[in-house]
Amino acid sequence: MVPGRALSPAAGGFAVVDIEASGSSPWRHRVVEVGVVLLDRALRVEAEFATLVDPNGPVGPTHVHRIAQDDVVGAPRFREIAPFLLELLAGRVLVGHHVSCDRAFLEREFARIGVPLPPVPLLCTMRLARRHLPEAGGFGLAACVAAAGLGAFAAHCALADARASAALLRHLTHPPAGPPADWTEQLREASALAWPRLGVPRQVRGRGRAQLRRQVGYEA
């Protein structure tokens, strides 16, 4: 994993996110893992960040995300990583596979600590795949990645899914047929938004930024 680093919102670009959660409802369930891949305006990787998150309760469907209850012992709570996440997302277009779901979980977690997220522009690789990969057998991330010929990845692991979504975005932005996509307007809109800032909680000052990566066979 490339250590996360604070980047100026003026840098712009894209934040490709994936959330693993304890269930399907942002209102009733909690985030248990976050993966972020930062891309510049040319879709080149700038930095990556991933961490397990203590949901302060059950981790939910271990058979899906393969996160056991013991795995989150000692992991940061969402409030502890929230200041850094705000730095990573600020000024960027939010990208994901079914990104509205990832946005909903982030929005609800930030709301729990009293931080409203701005109306950041979204890019959904699932929607793009429906348009450019009609031959895919389905439009889940694994099916789309396979249809695009992008290779295997460790599905339902936040950083691996974020990396796969970033690769899919690059593939779909330059489709074999038709002109390349132009995200200028979304980038301009994202860079103009005012983002909240959040202080680091006293109990985690001096500990550094938590970056706890699961060793589950991420593709390089």
pLDDT digits (tens, 9 = 90+) for 12-61: 899 999 999 999 999 999 999 999 999 999 999 999 999 999 999 999 99
pTM as predicted: 0.87
9-175: CATH topology: Nucleotidyltransferase; domain 5 (3.30.420)
Report which secondary-structure segment, H or E, holds 144. Answer: helix 141-147
The model's confidence at residue 9, banded by pLDDT at 50, 70 and 90, is very low
Domain ranges of the chain: 9-175
Q: What are the phi and psi torsion angles at 191 (to 5°)? A: -70, -20
Q: List, for residues 131-161, the tens digit of each pLDDT value.
A: 999 888 899 999 999 999 998 898 899 999 9
Q: How far apart are the C-alpha atoms of 33 and 18, rounded to whole Å? A: 8
Query: Could you tell me the two tokens for 17?
Result: 């996110």
Helix/strand/coil percent split, the chain, to 5 = 35, 15, 50
